[in-house]
Amino acid sequence: MQVPVHNLKGEVVSQAELSDLVFGIEPNESVMHQAMVRQLANARLGTHNTRSRGQVSGGGRKPYRQKGTGHARQGSIRAPQFRSGGVVFGPHPRSYRQRMPRKMRRLAIRSALSQKAREQALGIVEGLDSIEPRTKAMIEAMKALQVDGGTVLIATHGRCEPIERASGNVPTVKLVHASNLGVADMLKYDYLLLDARAVQPLEENLLKGASKKYREAEAAAQGEDTGGEAS
């Protein structure tokens, strides 16, 4: 798959060869949904807590005698039916973490990347580290790349202080390391811009442990691109 590489001025400077096994597969919506739910669940802290009747203070004696008052018998004013009493079946600290096989996680990310490529919402940018560390420079770059009409997710090769400072005050732009790309972010933002230096490491990471079928398909695709000379 050939994709143009743009600079910060919006000019096409080269062509990038993207793997069809990463950016050109049929998106698996069910796996993408499962990965998104997992990512959102793992972000929950689970620190909510309530006190039961045995944990609230007070209520050490009976509020009134057992018989002869005309009221229902009570043993403590910290029972759930009283004001400031304990909570019945309330939330307590717990972990919401979900597990997902590594191959499924990689399939979900490949599906999300392929979906972005299908929607023509994927761009490859060169020279992100050379941007001027000013908000105005980031806004001008978004206009030049024609992605200023929506929200933008930028995946960098590594930490880049100039682009961090340039995008810090732009509410429609979010930075993330390419190695930390998540399905939830890719589905949330309208456009995805990849640092040209991050494309190859990203492809290698997503194809680790791929089955023999995928490897053979990749070799066949490369053979077709070279005119069938590959053996």
Q: Which of 57, 51, 93 is nearest to 77 (CA)?
A: 57
- List the 2-6 sheet strands across, edge first: 12-17, 2-6, 122-125, 191-195, 152-156, 173-177
Of the listed ranges 27-31, 40-44, 56-60, the least confidently predicted one is: 56-60
Q: What value does the mean pLDDT of the chain take?
A: 88
Determine the Cα–Cα distance for residues 195 and 7; give it in Å rounded to an integer: 10
At 73-95, the pLDDT tens digits run 999 999 999 998 999 999 999 99
List, for residues 87-139, the tens digit of each pLDDT value.
999 999 999 999 999 999 999 999 999 999 999 899 999 988 888 999 999 99
Domains, the chain, with CATH or none: 2-29+101-225 (3.40.1370.10), 45-95 (no CATH)
Alpha carbon distance 95, 78 (integer Å): 29
134, containing H or E segment: none
* Alpha carbon distance 205, 187 (integer Å): 20
**pTM for the full model?**
0.79
